[in-house]
């Protein structure tokens, strides 16, 4: 079994109004589930809220094969996907069986066995500034059937997941959002962006350094063994990345359905450094009409070092018989334009908020990351849902390490910020400056030049970025 990264006692520092049973210990393992998330009791508040509308809130058992398949059908329908093939259904079952899966059911519906709303979640690590990570609760697969709008279902699901996150001892909850207007009411805020990078192959001339290692073509099945370790190192480099689960690597490398048309078009390459150690990989495909130049597309480039990142980018953009390269879910701060003679060969489009973060335990969350400079701030945090409300003194030493403590009354004196839980989530990874939110009247400084200090403290050496959907 891989080494334990952290062990977090669920009974530690939960708010006084918590009714959660603090009996589970969350031990996050690299590449594996830390504990069975289904062992958390079903949230009674969410259950009661849905029951008032004649709906049933259920935690699914992964051994209930028929129930899980109906849930998968509902989730695909909710995202307007086609009905899954058998191979995709089997893959979805394997992923969902490692998560906490909820469905909302209407006993009076024409198909009462199919949920009218879905959500799943699991405990995982979120990378934060300083090459560290924080225990987080990832929320996914949130759908509500259009036949059941305006019944409080989404609210019950999201508030239930926040309760589950606290039960798991997570310091933050997080999600990737298809719509930007839904999750703010629950305290989530955009904390890391992603963009589409398009490169005009005809204008590319590499002026960056040569990498000391080399790029190899490899079989996807052979790469699968080395991929998790490379991905773990790559994730640790960038705030906003989350631990990868095995299924996402199988999907990216085309191993879920190796004989399918999509998988057969995937090519995999690996970068080995000058010592022969694997430090990065990419999976890409080239789409083209017969006898016409193609277009190279990828959304999975994983680099544990800067050399690996540069070498893989160079390999991908210097392909012959290709007119352009399109990369999705890339950082808004890519180094690529600075590696080309003509930086205008690179265009950045579809810039979106991507990772949304919700702080649940400010003390644990703020302690987890490293800071840009030393200093002391008192953070007066408001939270309508009550999970993270309070005043907290953040003290950072010369090495960027933080101590955080709750303060009250006269102990809360000193320079600080008044902000809401959304604003705290937005600045947490360093992707949004506190002073920018102050210009939008969303953060208030309590003493002159506090914002100058706050900008420097919350700055991140690397722009936050999340390169996957979850």
List, as residue ranges, the binding site for acetyl-CoA: 142-144, 150-155, 178-179
Selected catalytic residue, list 91, 183, 186, 371? 183
Our answer to whether residue 284 is catalytic in this structure is no
Helices 450-458 and 421-428: crossing angle in degrees, nearest 10, is 50
217 is catalytic: no
- Detail the residues annotated as belonging to a binding site: 142-144, 150-155, 178-179
Q: Which residues pair with 101 in a beta bridge?
A: 120
> 212: exposed, middle or buried (C-beta count within 10 Å: 0-12, 13-18, 19+)?
exposed
Q: Look at phi and psi of residue 240 and say left if phi exceeds 0, alpha if psi is from -120 to 50, else beta.
A: left
**Sign of CA pseudo-dihedral 252, 257, 259, 260:** negative
Q: Which two tokens stand for residue 183?
A: 């999750």
Instruction: Give the C-alpha separation, 286 to 273, whole Å.
Output: 26
The torsion angles phi and psi of 189, rounded to 5 degrees, stand at -140, 145
Q: Closest Cα partner for 387 from 17, 125, 137?
A: 17
How far apart (Å, rounded) are the C-alpha atoms in residues 143 and 116? 8
What residues are annotated to the active site?
183, 470
């Amino acid at each position: 079994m891989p080494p334990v990264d952290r062990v977090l006692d669920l009974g530690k520092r939960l708010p006084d109004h918590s009714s959660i049973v603090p009996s589970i210990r969350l031990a996050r393992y690299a590449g594996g589930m830390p504990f069975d998330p289904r062992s958390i009791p079903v949230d009674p508040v969410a259950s009661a809220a849905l029951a008032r509308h004649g709906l049933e809130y259920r935690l699914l058992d992964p051994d209930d094969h028929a129930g899980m398949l109906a849930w998968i059908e509902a989730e695909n329908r909710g995202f307007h996907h086609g009905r899954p093939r058998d191979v995709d259904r089997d893959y979805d079952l394997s992923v969902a069986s490692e998560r906490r899966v909820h469905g909302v059911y209407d006993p009076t519906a024409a198909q009462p066995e199919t949920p009218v709303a879905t959500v799943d979640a699991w405990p995982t690590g979120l990378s934060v500034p300083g090459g560290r990570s924080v225990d987080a609760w990832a929320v996914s697969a949130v759908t509500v059937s259009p036949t059941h709008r305006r019944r409080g279902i989404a609210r019950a699901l999201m508030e239930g997941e926040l309760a589950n996150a606290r039960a798991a001892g997570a310091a933050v909850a997080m999600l990737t959002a298809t719509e930007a207007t839904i999750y703010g009411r629950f305290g989530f805020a955009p904390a890391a962006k992603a963009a589409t990078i398009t490169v005009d192959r005809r204008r590319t001339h590499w002026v960056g350094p040569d990498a000391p290692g080399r790029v190899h073509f490899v079989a996807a099945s052979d790469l699968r063994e080395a991929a998790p370790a490379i991905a773990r190192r790559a994730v640790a480099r960038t705030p906003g990345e989350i631990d990868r689960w095995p299924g996402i690597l199988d999907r990216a490398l085309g191993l879920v359905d190796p004989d399918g048309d999509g998988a057969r078009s995937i090519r995999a390459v690996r970068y080995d450094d000058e010592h022969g150690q694997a430090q990065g990989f990419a999976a890409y495909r080239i789409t083209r009409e017969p006898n016409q130049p193609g277009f190279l597309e990828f959304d999975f480039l994983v680099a544990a070092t800067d050399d690996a990142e540069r070498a893989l980018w160079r390999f991908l953009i210097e392909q012959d018989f290709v007119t352009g390269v399109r990369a999705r879910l890339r950082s808004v701060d890519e180094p690529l334009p600075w590696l080309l003679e003509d930086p205008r060969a690179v265009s950045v489009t579809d810039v979106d908020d991507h990772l949304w973060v919700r702080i649940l335990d400010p003390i644990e969350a703020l302690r987890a990351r490293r800071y840009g400079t030393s200093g002391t701030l008192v953070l007066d945090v408001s939270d309508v849902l009550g999970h993270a409300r309070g005043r907290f003194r953040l003290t950072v030493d010369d090495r960027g390490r933080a101590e955080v403590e709750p303060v009250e009354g006269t102990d809360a004196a000193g320079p600080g910020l008044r902000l809401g839980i959304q604003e705290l989530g937005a600045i947490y990874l360093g992707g949004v400056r506190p002073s920018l939110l102050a210009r939008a009247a969303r953060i208030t400084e309590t003493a002159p030049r506090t914002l100058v200090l706050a900008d420097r403290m919350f700055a991140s050496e690397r722009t936050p970025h999340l390169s996957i959907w979850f």
